[in-house]
């Protein structure tokens, strides 16, 4: 949410390395997200006085006091009640000797700016602030960011409610797995406890908590599920919360496995990647099991446009075009999907090609849009080796993603190195493609015949001997005949195009 930074005022962070411990490597900070309600109040009490499993390799254990830090976000939605929530959390943290940071924001304005609802805007803000605070604390402590933990007070009841909320909206296995026990450094150690259990714990210790009146407003989906749906379900099965917890754990494990599998499949199917653009092998995608293909398409669409509002029908429409071997589909928020020449091209409409114009040092590397990299180095021809056969075998092994050329013919000094000019395809350029025995060809025709879709062609890196010199290599497509290896070649120029992961 780009407008967050200009609407909130930050509280002062008070996370410091304990005196006398400068030579001891401490574990990362533990940020407790505390609203003042019963569940988050119990989280603070348990973190400060008991043991919790925050998935840091120690299992259920006491958390060192110096690691704890409370974060409270005042959304500015409930006037005096919000101010009193803030004061309550500050006093509670002080009571247990835990540093507290308060962040304030105009969530209603943030939601309006983003065209979002208040609930989503508030949730995104809370997690953004928790991550920012965790990073600040890691920097203050000198701890790696991965060692930090952001701890929320989600309970078994929250998990059951989220299951029904997602089912009402319509979802897949990921949504039905509900709230995961851990996502990156966010952990939820109270998922096995119910809200009532935590309330009983606070009553036994004589600790009060704050009640949010909006939790009773059934216009909000969560409140509707909590007060209208859950009582009916509990009447049929009093242990429904525990039953759903088991179901969610099973679905979460299966979803994690399928997500990893689909990510690997997506990498295998990827033929071209650039900012706002992705090209996949449509034929292989069509042959993929539909359960996996759905996930691959969904991941690919979100990679091109993370803000895309995907529904099952959008993924099904893309797969329909893939099955037909041709067709075009448009996804809300500006993603177009087109199947042509055996390729599925996904393009964010707002994204334009980002041509490259830069020097590539030899030896050296050059970063390209989409996480790609061009590398160059010079190698001597091993004694007794046929440079022509070696170059041919190298090209076959790397499937055109890397070539071996004659360094001197390409204009590179084997002793002192040099540099090559990398640019986008220029109108009217010609080259002598390798294998055409010196015949010239328009660069645009060569790229067009390569099968790359029109949207991806301006992103092809073209390596020249100099800004006005001849083409050496059309990266990933074809080298120029004039730079090819010959029997008398003594030095090899290795050029390689590395795709982004």
Per run of 10 residues, the mean pLDDT along the chain (length 501 residues) is 39 41 60 96 96 89 94 89 93 96 89 76 91 94 92 95 89 85 93 94 94 80 91 94 91 91 94 82 93 94 81 88 89 79 80 67 87 90 91 89 94 88 86 88 86 73 90 93 94 88 47
Domain's final residue, options 348, 373, 399: 348
Check whether residue 199 and residue 308 sit in a common domain.
Answer: no
Residue 441 token pair: 């060809």
pTM of the predicted protein model: 0.60
Contact predicate 181/219, CB 8 Å = no
Residue 141 lies in a domain: yes
Check whether residue 198 and residue 307 sit in a common domain.
Answer: no
Of the candidates 319, 151, 168, 159, the residue with the CA atom closest to the CA atom of residue 229: 168
Contact predicate 45/39, CB 8 Å = no
Residue 231 lies in a domain: no
Q: What angle do CA 212, 217, 1 make, to 5 degrees?
A: 70
Domain's final residue, options 201, 216, 231: 216
Check whether residue 450 and residue 373 sit in a common domain.
Answer: yes
Of the candidates 61, 434, 40, the residue with the CA atom closest to the CA atom of residue 201: 40
Residue 284 lies in a domain: yes
Check whether residue 13 and residue 118 sit in a common domain.
Answer: yes
Residue 40 lies in a domain: yes
Residue 313 lies in a domain: yes
Query: Tokens 């879709």 — which residue?
Result: 453
Q: Around Cβ 107, how many Cβ atoms within 10 Å?
A: 26
Return d(Cα 274, Cα 353) in angstroms, integer.
8
Residue 370 lies in a domain: yes
Domain's final residue, options 216, 237, 264: 216
Q: Is the dihedral of CA 287, 265, 274, 468 positive or negative?
A: negative
Check whether residue 459 and residue 339 sit in a common domain.
Answer: no
What residues contact 112, with CB distance under 8 A and at least 6 apart? none
- CATH value at residue 363: 3.50.40.10
Query: Tokens 């009146």 — which residue?
Result: 213
Check whether residue 420 and residue 311 sit in a common domain.
Answer: no
Check whether residue 64 and residue 204 sit in a common domain.
Answer: yes
Check whether residue 20 and residue 133 sit in a common domain.
Answer: yes
Q: What dihedral angle (degrees, nearest 10) is formed by the CA atoms of 238, 219, 123, 114?
A: 150
- CATH value at residue 79: 3.40.50.620
Check whether residue 322 and residue 367 sit in a common domain.
Answer: no
Range of the domain at 14: 4-156+185-216
Burial of 339 (0-12, 13-18, 19+ CB in 10 A): buried
Contact predicate 423/464, CB 8 Å = yes
Check whether residue 304 and residue 379 sit in a common domain.
Answer: no
Q: What pLDDT score was predicted for residue 12?
A: 38
Question: In the chain, how many domains are there?
Answer: 3
- CATH value at residue 319: 1.20.59.20
363 preceded by cis ω (within 30°)?
yes
Check whether residue 210 and residue 98 sit in a common domain.
Answer: yes
Q: What pLDDT score was predicted for residue 19?
A: 42
Return d(Cα 274, Cα 93) in angstroms, integer.
47
Check whether residue 33 and residue 95 sit in a common domain.
Answer: yes
N-to-C CA span, the chain? 25
């Amino acid at each position: 949410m780009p407008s967050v930074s200009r609407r909130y005022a930050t509280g002062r962070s008070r996370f410091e390395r304990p005196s006398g411990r400068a030579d001891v490597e401490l574990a990362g900070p533990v940020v407790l997200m505390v609203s003042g309600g019963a569940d988050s109040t119990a989280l603070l009490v348990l973190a400060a006085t008991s043991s919790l499993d925050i998935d840091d390799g120690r299992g259920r254990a006491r958390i060192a006091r110096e690691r704890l830090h409370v974060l409270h976000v005042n959304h500015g939605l409930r006037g005096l009640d919000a101010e009193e929530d803030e004061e309550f959390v500050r006093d509670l943290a002080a009571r247990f000797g835990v540093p507290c940071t308060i962040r304030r924001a105009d969530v209603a304005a943030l939601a309006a700016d983003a065209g979002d609802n208040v609930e989503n805007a508030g949730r995104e803000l809370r997690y953004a602030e928790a991550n920012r605070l965790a990073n600040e604390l890691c920097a203050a402590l000198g701890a790696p960011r991965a060692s930090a933990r952001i701890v929320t007070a989600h309970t078994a009841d929250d998990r059951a409610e989220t299951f029904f909320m997602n089912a009402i909206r319509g979802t897949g296995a990921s949504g039905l797995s509900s709230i995961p026990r851990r996502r990156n450094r966010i952990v939820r150690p109270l998922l096995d406890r119910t809200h009532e259990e935590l309330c009983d714990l606070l009553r036994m210790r004589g600790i009060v908590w704050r009640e949010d009146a909006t939790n009773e407003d059934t216009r909000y989906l969560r409140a509707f599920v909590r007060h209208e749906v859950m009582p009916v379900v509990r009447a049929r099965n009093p242990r429904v919360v525990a039953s759903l917890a088991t179901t969610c754990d099973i679905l979460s494990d299966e979803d994690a496995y399928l997500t990893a599998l689909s990510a690997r499949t997506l990498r295998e199917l990827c033929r071209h990647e650039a900012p706002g653009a992705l090209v996949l092998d449509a034929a292989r995608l069509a042959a993929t099991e539909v359960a996996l293909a759905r996930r691959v398409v969904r991941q690919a669409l979100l990679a091109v446009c993370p803000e895309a509002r995907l529904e099952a029908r959008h993924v099904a429409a893309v797969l329909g075009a893939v099955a037909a071997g041709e067709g075009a589909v448009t996804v809300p928020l500006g993603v177009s999907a087109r199947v042509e020449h055996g390729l599925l091209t996904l393009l964010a409409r707002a994204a334009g090609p980002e041509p490259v114009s830069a020097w590539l040092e030899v030896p050296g590397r050059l970063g390209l849009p989409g996480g790609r990299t061009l590398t160059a180095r010079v190698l001597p021809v091993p004694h007794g080796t046929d440079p022509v056969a070696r170059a041919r075998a190298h090209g076959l092994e790397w499937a055109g993603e890397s070539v071996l050329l004659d360094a001197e013919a390409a204009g590179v000094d084997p002793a002192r190195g040099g540099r090559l000019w990398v640019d986008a395809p220029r109108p009217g350029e010609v080259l002598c493609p390798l294998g055409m025995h010196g015949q010239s060809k328009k660069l645009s025709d060569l790229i067009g015949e390569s099968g790359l879709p029109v949207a991806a062609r301006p992103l092809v890196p073209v390596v020249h001997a100099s800004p006005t010199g001849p083409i050496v290599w059309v990266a990933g497509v074809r080298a120029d005949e004039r730079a090819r290896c010959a029997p008398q070649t003594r030095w090899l120029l290795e050029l390689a195009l590395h795709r982004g992961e």
